[in-house]
């Protein structure tokens, strides 16, 4: 087994016991990146000297008895929307080519303080708006399960890098599903914690009222470890072996099963996933969520309105530096009135109350992350943008924690089970995700990428 295949806990144990060095672990990842990056195109910036220096510091600290915890010496990647000191933050746009911050985002500082080693920056859709596009600063990242297909977005490089084994975990952002949907499409785990639990300082905003920092990992256990380091009060890794017995699971089947966009494979795999949870001892109940289309529309209004405000001052002078899809997405905000925005916010509050009420009677709610597998990249070359039907955006409106875990395959491409929990209850989301993961082999499967 290569060092790149080790879980965070196994790699951490080997580092702590002196059977592996942080430099050797980093070099193993760099070797894999050199071999596979031309196919995956996940990274947009690597600084080997900086990363190797950080790994050497981690080794020196370990040798000196200063072990910082389970992320000490573990490499990680950062979405190119999040500042890492002295690495460019281009936001996937030609308009940001000269942006090299002197300080890191708060989320990166927390990881570095825990001893983790920043490996580099990974691709994003331009400003996290829409994509994939072929006229931005970088070519689109590719789905490791089939490089002719999209990764999902906007944390495209984060999911692709983890799925390809280029890095064990990556940090992304999630405003409407931008951690969970690429995680589902790429067959990895994506966790969007409760709104406000992870800091947004040093993260380029898309829609400030909906923005979340999120975590993409190869397993639920890995995600729970990272979450527990970043937000210790969440205790996300304390119940991973507790199982699902006697938990109440609400199944929101009505939110997707009759949607014209849903793939029959998604319905079948979701029913199978719920059957697995039932066999694990969970109590399954059908639940009725408020109308999905209204929640999605409210979220879209807020994203377009707030994104336009973020970009308003620079969009005009730098119009030609924005890609076509980014310009079109931002222009959609022009038609929105203050009344439109107020109505969207009011609907978001009502929807959050209704989800809270359901979760007062259930430990979690489950549904698919996306309604189809990842579409081919060729679609985005011929259309203005790729619309991919998901069930993620409403939980950015409400701020509830949500996780996507692999739930099977259709046509050789992965699909994701989405688990929604009570606010501040990442521990329960991770518990259910870990139980499902342990009872299936979906998360253990990895794509084959020939040299």
Q: Which of 199, 159, 208 is nearest to 404 (CA)?
A: 159
Write out the DSSP string of 26-43.
HHHHHHHHHHHHHHH--E
Could you tell me if 168 and 386 are in contact, meaning their C-beta atoms sit under 8 angstroms apart? no
**Among this protein's residues, is 121 annotated catalytic?**
no
From the candidates 93, 154, 209, 380, which is the catalytic residue? 154
d(CA 217, CA 186): 11
From the candidates 51, 79, 121, 404, which is the catalytic residue? 79
* The residue to which tokens 């996507």 are assigned: 404
Rounded to 10°, the helix 22-40/8-16 angle is 150
**Among this protein's residues, is 7 annotated catalytic?**
no
Omega cis (within 30) before 403: no
| Antiparallel, parallel or unpaired: β 364-368 and 402-410 | unpaired
Write out the DSSP string of 74-135.
-EEEEETTB-BTTB---TTSGGGTT---SS--HHHHHHHHTT-EEEEEE--SGGGTS---SS
Tokens of 329: 């997405």
Between CA 305 and CA 365, with CA 307 as vertex, the angle to 5 degrees is 80
Could you tell me if 245 and 33 are in contact, meaning their C-beta atoms sit under 8 angstroms apart? no
Could you tell me if 111 and 8 are in contact, meaning their C-beta atoms sit under 8 angstroms apart? no
Burial status of residue 49 (CB atoms within 10 A of its CB: 0-12, 13-18, 19 or more): exposed
d(CA 328, CA 450): 37
Helix (H) or strand (E) holding 192: strand 189-192
* The residue to which tokens 């109308």 are assigned: 291
Q: Which of 2, 229, 274, 232 is nearest to 111 (CA)?
A: 229
Tokens of 278: 């039932």
Could you tell me if 173 and 198 are in contact, meaning their C-beta atoms sit under 8 angstroms apart? no
From the candidates 104, 133, 158, 178, which is the catalytic residue? 178
**Among this protein's residues, is 423 annotated catalytic?**
no
d(CA 228, CA 233): 7
What distances in angstroms separate CA 270 from CA 121, 189, 266, one per listed residue? 34, 16, 6
Which residues participate in catalysis according to the annotation?
79, 154, 178
């Amino acid at each position: 087994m290569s060092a790149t295949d080790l879980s965070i806990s196994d790699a951490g144990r080997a580092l702590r016991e002196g059977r592996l060095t942080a430099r050797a672990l980093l070099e193993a990842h760099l070797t894999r990146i050199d071999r596979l990056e031309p196919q995956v195109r996940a990274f947009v910036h690597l600084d080997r000297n900086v990363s190797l220096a950080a790994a050497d510091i981690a080794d020196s600290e370990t040798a000196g008895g200063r072990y910082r915890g389970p992320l000490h010496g573990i490499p990680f990647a950062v979405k190119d929307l999040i500042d890492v000191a002295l690495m460019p933050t281009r936001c996937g746009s030609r308009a940001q080519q000269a942006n090299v911050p002197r300080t890191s985002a708060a989320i990166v500082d927390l990881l570095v303080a825990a001893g983790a080693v920043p490996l580099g920056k990974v691709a994003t859709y331009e400003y996290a708006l829409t994509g994939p596009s072929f006229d931005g600063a970088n070519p689109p990242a590719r789905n490791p399960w089939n490089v002719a297909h999209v990764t999902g977005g906007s944390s495209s490089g984060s999911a692709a890098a983890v799925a390809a084994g280029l890095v064990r975990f990556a940090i992304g952002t999630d405003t409407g599903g931008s951690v969970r949907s690429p995680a589902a499409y790429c067959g990895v785990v994506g966790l969007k914690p409760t709104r406000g639990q992870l800091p947004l300082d040093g993260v380029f905003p898309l829609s400030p009222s909906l923005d979340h920092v999120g975590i993409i990992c190869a397993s639920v256990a890995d995600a729970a470890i990272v979450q527990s380091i970043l937000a210790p009060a969440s205790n996300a890794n304390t119940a991973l072996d507790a199982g699902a017995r006697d938990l109440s699971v609400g199944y929101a089947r009505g939110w997707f099963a009759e949607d014209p966009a849903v793939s029959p494979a998604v319905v079948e795999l979701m029913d199978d996933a719920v059957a697995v949870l039932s066999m694990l001892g969970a109590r399954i109940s059908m639940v009725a969520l408020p109308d999905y289309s209204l929640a999605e529309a409210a979220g879209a209004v807020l994203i377009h309105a707030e994104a336009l405000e973020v970009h308003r001052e620079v969009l005009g002078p730098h119009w030609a530096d924005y890609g076509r899809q980014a310009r079109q997405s931002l222009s959609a905000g022009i038609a929105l009135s203050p009344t439109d925005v107020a109505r969207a916010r009011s609907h978001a509050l009502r929807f959050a109350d209704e989800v809270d009420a359901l979760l007062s009677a259930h430990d979690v709610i489950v549904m698919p992350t996306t309604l189809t597998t990842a579409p081919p990249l060729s679609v985005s070359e011929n259309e203005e943008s790729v619309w991919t039907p998901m069930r993620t955006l409403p939980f950015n409106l409400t701020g509830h924690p949500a996780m996507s875990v692999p739930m099977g395959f259709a046509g050789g491409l992965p699909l994701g089970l989405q688990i929604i929990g009570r606010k501040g209850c990442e521990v329960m989301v991770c518990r259910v995700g870990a139980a499902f993961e342990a009872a299936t082999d979906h998360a253990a499967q990895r794509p084959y990428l020939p040299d």
